[in-house]
Structure 1
């Protein structure tokens, strides 16, 4: 199954969100972020079969730049799979070099209740420079029908820009590469990677942070079904979100 890219949750967002966090001590802050989304999409794919999801993030931030947190969401993989809960644990170090450049290095552990075969870990690096983001996530313990311990590499480039009327624009283009050819087309050809992209508008209002995103991948319906079991979890969609940071 697909895994969550926490780039919008940790890493490059840590410094500005710290200003909204709850102060525990002189060196330690707690950030809480509940969110609801119309479809839980991760790297272009639906983790909730197109249904809404409720999510919660809790992150401890230290003045040194170190952080630790947990993120959770309801999920639905269908196919008689029992898991309905994803819990992700992460830890890392965030360094702000100046107003325009920062680096985030960390470790992620994804866990799925009642379906431990989907558990996976990743290490990641996210560089932010002058509005651009360059990120890479590597795993060597993904299990799939090809076999255990399949290397994967997810990379993306993103860009954020402030628009008029206090609206933000975020765009991302990513590539998810598997060690083996796991996607099979209708003609029988195979490949081991796919591309995904997202364009997202953000705006604050009524005490909440709102998002409107267009998400898509280059996987065909047959390729999607060959690995994920459904033809429509990889197709284009619009996702609406609402969140609040404490």
Structure 2
């Protein structure tokens, strides 16, 4: 990562052999995901300068819990940077320990056409138990000011179904960099920040409609020192519509 962009997976979650997947045979299925959103926020920070995003994902799933796939979204980091697309290639294994408890282990490769200096990879582990989610993502080759650096993202989440085909998703996360990343107006540096999201979803006419409130604890000056903009880390509402098949 460099000062113009914070590259991350965001809220995309994997769920092999879900009810939306289309069976290929007795052991394989494929799931396609389409989404339109008023902003692409990744770990609290806009990847589109607060503009809308169109996103698509395809996941091949095996009955054993193994999966692999690709996901993509438009991005805009400004400052004349040529890339307009983020592509994520991922593979992993979801272990369904019991019906309400699962462990998801995987690897992601992030690619940015025409701006390969942003490319990086992450490994992750996500424990889901009775709706509570503990996620951990580690990168050893994240872009830095002068060389690659390591990052660690941890989050605690909760998901549940409410009446009337409505879902609730909550997340509180911490993004930690090995080297100083954010500078306040008085010159103080920081290696980490916190971000959070509360999201309501509603299923209607075959689509999932969502509304999220997203924020970080970064000040305007800290945000500008990272992305070059003061308004890409501040509180916002994000509306979305998605479909899986």
State the TM-score bracket (shorter-chain normalisation). over 0.9
**TM-score of the superposition, structure 2-length normalised?**
0.96
Map of 2:236 onto structure 1: 237
Cα gap change, 1:102 to 1:211, in 2 (>3 Å): same
For the 8 Å contact 2:10–2:41, the answer to whether it is kept is: no
- SS of the aligned residue for 2:196 comes to strand
Matches within 5 A, 1:30-69: 30-69=30-69
Please list every run of 5 or more consecutive structure 2 residues that lacks an aligned counterpart in the other structure.
Answer: none
Residue 183 of structure 2 corresponds to 184
Cα root mean square deviation, aligned: 1.0
C-alpha deviation, 1:7, in angstroms:
5.2
- Take 2:205 and 2:182, find their aligned partners in 1: how far apart are those partners? 43
Deviation of residue 26 (structure 1)?
1.3
- The match for 1:221 is 220
Deviations, residues 127-152 of structure 1 (Å, cap 9, x unaligned): 0001100000000101121x212110
Counterpart position of 2:6: 2
Shift of 1:224: 0.5
**Displacement of 1:163 after TM fit?**
1.9
Alignment partners' CA distance in 2, 1:219 and 1:191: 10
Structure 1 residue 126 corresponds to structure 2 residue 126: yes
CA contact (8 A) 2:120 2:139 kept: yes
2:202 alignment partner in structure 1: 203
Aligned ranges 1:26-175 → 2 under 5 Å: 26-145=26-145, 147-175=146-174
1: CA distance, partners of 2:206 / 2:38: 19
**Counterpart-to-counterpart distance in 2, 1:223 and 1:90:** 31
Count the aligned residue pairs.
241
Runs of 4+ in structure 1 deviating by more than 4 angstroms, as ranges, are: none
Counterpart Cα distance in 1 of 2:223 and 2:54? 25
